[in-house]
Structure 1
Amino acid sequence: MILTPPPNSADLPFDPDFDDEIDPDFASAEGADRSPITLALSPEVCGQRLDKVVAALVPQFSRSRIQLWFEGGHVTVDGKPARGKDTAYGDETVVITPQAAPEDTAYTPEPVNLDIVYEDADIMVINKPAGLVVHPGAGNWSGTLLNGLLHHCPQLANVPRAGIVHRLDKDTSGLMVVGKTLAAQTDLVRQLQARTVKREYFALVWGTPHLSGTIDSPMGRHPRDRVKMAVSTSMNAKPAITHYERIATGMLDRKPVSLVQCRLETGRTHQIRVHMQSIGFGLVGDAVYGKTHLASAFHRQALQARRLGLTHPSTGEHVEWVVPLAQDFAELLARAGIEEPEAI
């Protein structure tokens, strides 16, 4: 772990489009901590809508979640159920009883072998292997990273999605961060939204791209195959920016390949895979976006989240982690005659 002076995230632009890596069900990191919260309103809020006052005083919860609590009778003013549209007068006592959403407690702890790179009271950094699904969903309701986190750290049952704030594809290896408390998870999500989290990937692609470049191409659902993503000019497309640098070249099955370092500004679904394919350099092993007649060269997309940097939620220090390439990826590079670069 490397400590350096932290950037001031307050001075950085806020991205109104959440990264697709941030699961929409917990993009606001709303909590499952259901201890009652008591607020003594001051005269300064007199005349304002009550729901806006409450939202400002408990920013760890989203306005939509707070509104549901108003509607369910879980917010009282001087002992009586309140409505969000009521007017605040500035001398009331407001009591909020947070309620968990059903999905917050829908998962079961299971023993899963976790490669924990770093852990303290606030965060955990995991080196996810290829093949491990991040959280339960259709077709993968057990044996996921989330199930393993709940087994390793039972307190994560009180944090939405066991503290997970961003995703990696099942067959992408590498670094992920987990917030172990509601406050840490909220802070990490906001860093992702503000694009201050440093995410660098290694990818092995077919061909020889320019030494460096930036792909600034919005992305959306593929117009004909809704399972896939694509570069898009649709009004519904979201901004997507990938910076890349060619690190080394080699030959795989008598065809040229290049090791490319990619740095993400945004985190759209399958962003690196789609962006590199869009400029003619599909990832080795990518059966969905790559060269289908060459898909057998590797059993998964050759992609790893190798470096992760962020501001520690509690200390405010900038911290970074770098992991070696997964064994199968390293062996693939050796086949191509490429030596794995040393971490800098």
Structure 2
Amino acid sequence: MSQTLDAQQRIPDHMAGFRLDQVAAELFSDYSRERLKAWIKQGALTVDGVPARPRDRVHGGEWLALTVELEEEARFEPQDIPLQVVFEDDDVLIIDKPPGLVVHPAAGNPDGTLLNGLLHHCNALASVPRAGIVHRLDKDTSGLMVVAKTLAAQHALVEQLQARTVSREYDAVTVGQMTAGGRVDAPIGRHPGDRKRQAVNESGKPAVTHYRVIERFRAHTHVRCRLETGRTHQIRVHLAHLRYPLIGDPVYGGRLKLPAGAGDTLKEVLREFPRQALHARKLAFVHPSTGATMTLRAPLPDDLLMLLDFLRDDRETMR
């Protein structure tokens, strides 16, 4: 079974001078760069109706048109994985993802993922690329994700993400006591020495994170972050760049730091906290069919509530 993908995107003026394959990867981000390069070479992806080469430079303002037959993603097996559904209709599905659940199958995680659970939950998602997944959360980040149940809904949501009109807010608990909120405007790309990590990198993609302080503790801070862009590991990288890494972050957290005079219980909690302290708390977007603004919230999970309680107890004890 196959389905025709027929989509258009206008190249933003700020991408003038970029390679066509780079631009395509940005504007059609639901597909891999290699897959897009193959479509360019096949003539399935054109510039103002004319075939081009992946290495050709664009001027900005051109229209990319992609017309291709998508095969059903039958290689992924449906699996009965419990999903916490926050909202569902014929077009979209919003879930509250638990920590520990991988979003998409990959090397080391061939199954048992959110995608496998989505295919079990809704058979029709087998005909939508990536089972309707339009954005991701890291394995150990909890919170809200929107899934498109139709190809049309997927296109609409991807366009909103590219236009930066989807509002995404996160709660995070950082190491270090922040004095005030702010804005991080720093490009993110692959770490030059470790391809599994991201880093603030001048050759990376633009990335902007807004953050504000919710509650201060003796040596930690509860902050709320709003994404203006959606780069891989963006909040984790940006806050670590500010030298306020997330509690429990195994990649960007650095060496464990314990507050002076902390009790044994808090020390154990900080040592054993099993994941980065990050939760996607709020998601707002325009419904693909109705045009209504959808705003959904997910309460903090138990592990983060417990962590905040212990930090409050430590603060009160040491006053």
**TM-score when normalising by structure 1:** 0.70
Are 1:244 and 2:211 counterparts?
Answer: yes
1:227 partner SS: strand
**2 CA distance for matches of 1:174 and 1:188?**
18
Are 1:212 and 2:181 counterparts?
Answer: yes
Report what 2:147 is aligned to. Answer: 178
1:15-26 superposed matches below 5 A: 22-25=29-32
**1 CA distance for matches of 2:128 and 2:276?**
31
In structure 2, what residue type is equivalent to 1:25? Answer: S
Per-residue CA deviations over 1:142-198 (Å, capped at 9, x if unaligned) read 111011111011011111111110000000000000000110011000000000000
Are 1:116 and 2:116 counterparts?
Answer: no
2:277 corresponds, among 302, 308, 311, to: 302
Are 1:129 and 2:136 counterparts?
Answer: no
**2 CA distance for matches of 1:181 and 1:175?**
19
Report what 1:203 is aligned to. Answer: 172
2:217 partner SS: strand
CA contact (8 A) 1:22 1:166 kept: no
Report what 2:256 is aligned to. Answer: 293
CA contact (8 A) 2:125 2:132 kept: yes
2:196 partner SS: coil
**2 CA distance for matches of 1:176 and 1:208?**
29
Could you tell me how far 1:210 is from its partner in structure 2?
3.2
Report what 1:77 is aligned to. Answer: none
**TM-score when normalising by structure 2:** 0.75
**1 CA distance for matches of 2:50 and 2:195?**
42
Are 1:271 and 2:239 counterparts?
Answer: no
Which ranges of 4 or more aligned residues in structure 1 deviate by more than 3 Å?
Answer: 13-26, 48-52
CA contact (8 A) 1:20 1:269 kept: no
Asked which structure has the greater RCO (Cα within 8 Å, sep 6+), the reply is 1
1:5-16 superposed matches below 5 A: none
1:155 partner SS: helix
**2 CA distance for matches of 1:128 and 1:324?**
12
Gaps of at least 5 residues in structure 1 are 1-12, 30-47, 53-61, 70-98, 339-344
CA contact (8 A) 2:49 2:65 kept: no
In structure 1, what residue type is equivalent to 2:227? Answer: L
In structure 1, what residue type is equivalent to 2:217? Answer: G
2:199 corresponds, among 230, 248, 260, to: 230
CA contact (8 A) 2:177 2:217 kept: no
Gaps of at least 5 residues in structure 2 are 1-11, 16-22, 37-47, 53-63, 258-269, 314-319
CA contact (8 A) 2:178 2:216 kept: no
Q: CA-atom RMSD, angstroms?
A: 2.9
2:112 partner SS: coil
Task: State percent identity of aligned pairs.
Answer: 51
CA contact (8 A) 1:15 1:195 kept: no
Report what 1:33 is aligned to. Answer: none
Gap change, CA 1:153 and 1:49, over 3 Å in 2: closer
Larger Rg: 1
**1 CA distance for matches of 2:286 and 2:49?**
34
2:194 partner SS: coil
In structure 1, what residue type is equivalent to 2:232? Answer: T
Length, aligned pairs only:
261
CA contact (8 A) 1:164 1:178 kept: yes
Per-residue CA deviations over 1:11-69 (Å, capped at 9, x if unaligned) read xx89867679954339x99xxxxxxxxxxxxxxxxxx95889xxxxxxxxx845x2xx5
Could you tell me how far 1:296 is from its partner in structure 2?
2.4
CA contact (8 A) 2:27 2:162 kept: no
Report what 2:70 is aligned to. Answer: 100
In structure 2, what residue type is equivalent to 1:182? Answer: L
Gap change, CA 1:125 and 1:14, over 3 Å in 2: farther
